[in-house]
A and B are shown apart, each in its own frame.
Chain A
């Protein structure tokens, strides 16, 4: 009997210790059958024995569900999770499980910012690492306005960090063709120092800063069609400290 399985083809981003939960729904055949075996065979990096589930009895509703969990190991890198094998009447059908990319906290934040920018319609590439920008992004409707995006997880964004990010922008702008700098802080507006906000208010129009919560708010408004591409470009292209106000207030 043919076996059909829908396994998402995606790359899961996560930190070490993150739990991945598989919810498997098996639609049982109507003909006579003995057993159906579902096997999760994980890659060596995970150091986990294969898990096996055997279904041997039909259910009233005609399907059964299996829940399987795995914890991401403490090892940065990209790996395939493993293989899912379905064994029925001697036929074995293997399927690849999704890939995982295990990141450091900083890397995960950079990826989250890049993902947010892509959801806003930007072409965003995460570079990361020493002597490289965190992210380079541009909107297809404004290809000449390439942005260097620095994503920071500092608990307080102060003037020293601001100077460091500006310096990094000047060092890298010619190499990456970036024309403006956007800093995205994990912390909220209260943890951005007053001195930085003053500098932003009087600095030239190439520098902007937005807190991640406001970037997410912009993404949510765009995703719910409250604003279009033009407004997104206008908001993220604004110089200075960017705060997003929804229709009903902040």
Chain B
């Protein structure tokens, strides 16, 4: 093992520097593609929601809040999630409930929605509140979170590449191709559904419905641009 440490100690250290020289307002599609591409380079993993819809995510987070007690813990969060998963066949289809539950809870933590004791954070609380009071704000916040912190720019980048290279003519082919590409790049592992991913993107308004003429899910670059450049406020 000392040789592994020595190799890591001797390995090159990479520093990423980005430089932007402001000019006239360029076309939103082009700058957004650059922004997305730049974020893509920084992405190593996608926060996969394990087939949860955006409203199921809010429902589960709210359930966490309501279950908070002195004895609440990471394990309790997993237990509650496993019970939730068992009641939803679409979510349970990708594996054993407890395994999916661990994955979901870990994803919530990686997104900053819960802390490492399983308690819902202030950001998670805000999302829960918005899901009940202000659905637009909820969708904006969640979309921003997934794009900026959850690595979902990688999904959009791969989708865009498939369109540009005209690699798929049918919805089924597109979904299969997306699945393969995201797995090959290591962004998502294990059993998962690209259809569920596309559904989340559509619910968040980041892509449109299937366009049978153009054979694609149109990407809403303006919305993506607005979300990625907006300041995140707590």
Contact = CB atoms under 8 A, between A and B. Distances in A.
Interface in A7-42: 7-8, 12, 14-15, 17-31, 33, 36, 38
For chain B, the bracket of interface size reads: 20 to 34
Interface in A102-118: 105, 108-109, 112
* Interface majority SS (helix, strand, loop, mixed), chain A: mixed
Contact of B13 (A17, A19, A33, A225): A19
Interface in A204-244: 211-213, 222, 224-229
Contacts of B116: 222, 225, 228-229
Contacts of B106: 224-226
A176 interface: no
B95 to A, nearest CB: 15
Nearest to A188: B1
A5 B22 contact: no
B21 A27 contact: yes
A112 B24 CA distance: 46
B17 A4 contact: no
Given A187-B2, A225-B105, A29 B21 contact: yes
B34 A27 contact: yes
Contact of A3 (B13, B15, B19): B19
A88 interface: yes
**Residue from B26, B41, B116 with most neighbouring chain A CB atoms (10 Å):** B116
B71 to A, nearest CB: 13
A213 B1 CA distance: 7
A97 B110 CA distance: 30
Given A14-B13, A187-B1, A228 B117 contact: yes
A249 interface: no
A62 interface: yes
Contacts of A170: none
B212 interface: no
A212 B34 CA distance: 41
A30 B12 contact: no
Interface string B110-154: 100000110000000000000000000000000000000000000
Nearest to A97: B15
A30 B23 CA distance: 6
Contacts of A153: 2
Interface residues of A, number: 57
Nearest to A105: B9
**Residue from A6, A211, A222 with most neighbouring chain B CB atoms (10 Å):** A6
Contacts of B20: 3-5, 26-27
A212 B117 CA distance: 25
A140 interface: no
Interface string B13-35: 11111111111101000110010
Contact of B34 (A5, A12, A61, A88): A61
Contacts of A108: 9
Contacts of B5: 109, 112, 186, 212
B21 A25 contact: no
Interface of A: 1-8, 12, 14-15, 17-31, 33, 36, 38, 61-63, 69, 84, 86, 88, 97-98, 105, 108-109, 112, 153, 155, 186-188, 211-213, 222, 224-229
Give the 8 A-B residue pairs with the shortest CB-CB distance, closest first.
Answer: A29-B23, A19-B12, A31-B23, A27-B20, A225-B109, A30-B26, A29-B21, A213-B1
19 contacts: A4-B20, A5-B18, A14-B13, A18-B9, A20-B13, A25-B19, A26-B20, A27-B21, A29-B22, A31-B23, A33-B21, A62-B34, A86-B19, A86-B21, A186-B5, A187-B2, A213-B1, A224-B106, A228-B116
Given A1-B21, A18-B12, A30-B26, 16 more contacts: A4-B22, A5-B19, A6-B18, A6-B19, A12-B13, A14-B9, A23-B15, A25-B17, A25-B19, A26-B19, A61-B34, A88-B21, A98-B15, A187-B1, A228-B74, A228-B116
